[in-house]
């Protein structure tokens, strides 16, 4: 029934913003109980839509489009911005993040808030992606016992399930591209500084960025066009207006013709099944006129991770304390230390995994610490100048590509996330460069994404490449909402014995 509901949801768009919004609310109420992607619907959504229908102003590019917002991004109205934590249940700020204000100005309807990995997956090194104390466990709509990845898990699962055509996620390292990949949708992590972070619950001012998560590349381009731009309150966006482009204009079916793209075979490792899907993707790219060049791993890549972690822990304490100071008095936790104490006092918060990352962050020494400064300089150089930039220049390529992530793993409350391999997200995240993932195919019904990574401000180019690949491959997969991969009609017989043994009768006396 749910699978059929998804098909019906993709029918022709309703004729008004109000009709589109009511249809989206109905889909959420019908489908979301199976996946827990939505923390809350905005009770003002229909009123927003009616106001749009009445308005005599020019209709924006997103007119009447219901959009879901990750619940670490503030929206005006009665909904709190919780970051998935019970500590922020009173965080009703009455303000729109600038990116949300830009969505409204483009005609979008803010439908509600999506679940996320609590605190954007920065509370514990043994977390379960897609879980938060407020929202519970988001499930992957392609197999309900599989993880949706995080931290933008609800945004990814919601779009995959057809609840809306677009949602907003945030990424510090992989939090847009991973859930987009494993849920089988398009995700774009922009250049850090293209989209404002004001009124977004932070991890790291060096790496945080919001971005679009959408049903297809064209929708991603339209949403990015709406949310990109300079914000005087966020110094990182000073150059955004100068670099903001017409992203929809870059979407040409022949965008891959004559381009050279670097193939990052050093990321992974991948299973033979993933390698087979990737090989087919490379064939599609070649058929579209791209020249593919294998590139070697950048020097000292293994040093990026430890340096990045030192940066994230230091900036988490500084940036989160600064954010909490702006929240209303109804939020009792005013510092990271307060949050640590709150979690210890509330059993639900720590019942599945701990808060070791919070505790390590609390022990850091601030932005003037020489160790922090050295770690930031090292990670930025290795990922940027000596990483992506060097690979592009040395190989004469305009972008880099690889599988985004392995297929979704099972939700595991005993061991936490168990991920078999990782993709190129770290290089783009640490460098602050754009990273686009588009559906590439699937292994036993579990989607896999194809990543395109480029230099700073190359979003239009990457969207063009992704669009051309999307149009040629037709790799998008509708979810089945199956209880598990193992139970489907093709797989279940393979897990049973060929000749079931007849049990020997046991005499009971």
Tell me how many degrees the CA angle 456-458-462 measures, rounded to the nearest 5: 135
* Residue 181 annotated as catalytic: no
- CA distances 25 to 183, 403, 434, Å, are 21, 34, 32
Q: Which of 9, 85, 106, 175 is catalytic?
A: 175
The H-assigned helical ranges of 351-458 are 356-362, 370-383, 389-395, 425-431
Q: Could you tell me which residues come within 8 angstroms of residue 346 by beta carbon, excluding any fewer than 6 positions away? A: 86, 133
| CA 232 – CA 463 distance, rounded (Å) | 27
Strands (E), 231-374: 260-263, 291-294
The H-assigned helical ranges of 288-327 are 304-324
Q: Which of 9, 70, 129, 132 is catalytic?
A: 70
| CA 450 – CA 440 distance, rounded (Å) | 5
The residue count for the chain = 509
* Residue 151 annotated as catalytic: yes
Q: Which of 106, 124, 132, 151 is catalytic?
A: 151
Strands (E), 172-286: 186-189, 209-214, 260-263
3-state secondary structure of 359: helix
| CA 452 – CA 450 distance, rounded (Å) | 7
3-state secondary structure of 186: strand
| Residues annotated catalytic, as ranges | 70, 151, 175
């Amino acid at each position: 029934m749910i699978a059929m509901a998804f098909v019906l949801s993709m029918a022709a768009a309703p004729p008004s913003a109000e009709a589109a919004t009511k249809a989206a609310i109905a889909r959420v109420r019908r489908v979301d109980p199976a996946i827990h992607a939505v923390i809350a619907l905005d009770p003002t959504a229909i009123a927003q839509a009616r106001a749009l229908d009445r308005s005599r102003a020019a209709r924006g590019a997103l007119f009447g489009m219901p959009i879901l917002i990750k619940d670490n991004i503030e929206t005006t109205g009665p909904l709190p911005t919780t970051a998935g934590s019970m500590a922020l249940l009173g965080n009703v700020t009455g303000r729109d993040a600038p990116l949300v204000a830009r969505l409204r100005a483009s005609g979008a309807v803010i439908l509600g808030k999506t679940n996320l990995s609590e605190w954007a997956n920065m509370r514990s090194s043994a977390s379960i992606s897609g879980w938060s104390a407020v929202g519970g466990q988001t499930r992957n709509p392609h197999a309900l016992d599989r993880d949706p990845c995080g931290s933008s898990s609800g945004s990814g699962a919601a779009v995959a399930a057809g609840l809306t055509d677009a949602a907003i996620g945030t990424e510090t390292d992989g939090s847009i591209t991973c859930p987009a990949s494993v849920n089988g949708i398009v995700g774009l992590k922009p250049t850090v500084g293209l989209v404002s972070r004001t009124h977004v619950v932070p991890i790291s001012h060096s790496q945080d960025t919001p971005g679009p998560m959408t049903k297809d590349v064209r929708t991603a381009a339209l949403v990015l066009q709406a949310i990109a731009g300079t914000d005087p309150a966020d110094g990182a966006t000073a150059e955004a207006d100068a670099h903001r482009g017409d992203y929809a204009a870059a979407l040409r079916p022949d965008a891959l013709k004559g381009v050279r793209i670097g193939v990052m075979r050093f990321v992974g490792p991948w299973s033979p099944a993933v390698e087979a899907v990737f090989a087919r993707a490379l064939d599609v790219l070649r058929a579209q006129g791209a020249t593919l060049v294998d590139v070697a791993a950048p020097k000292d890549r293994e040093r990026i991770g430890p340096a990045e972690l030192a940066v994230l822990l230091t900036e988490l304490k500084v940036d989160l304390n600064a954010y909490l100071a702006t929240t209303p008095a109804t939020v009792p936790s005013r510092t990271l230390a307060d949050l640590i104490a709150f979690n210890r006092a509330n059993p639900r918060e720590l019942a599945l995994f701990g808060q070791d990352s919070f505790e390590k962050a609390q022990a850091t020494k601030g932005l003037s610490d020489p160790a922090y400064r050295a770690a930031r300089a090292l990670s930025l150089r290795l990922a940027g100048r000596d990483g992506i930039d060097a690979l592009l220049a040395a190989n004469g390529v305009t972008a880099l590509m690889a599988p985004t992530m392995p297929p979704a793993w099972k939700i595991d409350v005993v061991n936490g996330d168990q991920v078999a391999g990782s993709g190129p997200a770290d290089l783009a995240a640490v460098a602050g460069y754009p990273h686009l993932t588009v559906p590439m195919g699937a292994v036993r019904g579990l989607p896999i994404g194809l990543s395109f990574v480029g230099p700073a401000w190359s979003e239009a180019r990457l969207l063009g490449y992704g669009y051309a690949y999307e149009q040629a491959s037709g790799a998008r997969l509708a979810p089945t909402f199956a209880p598990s991969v193992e139970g489907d009609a093709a797989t279940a017989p393979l897990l049973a014995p060929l000749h079931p043994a007849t049990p020997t009768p046991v005499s009971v006396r």
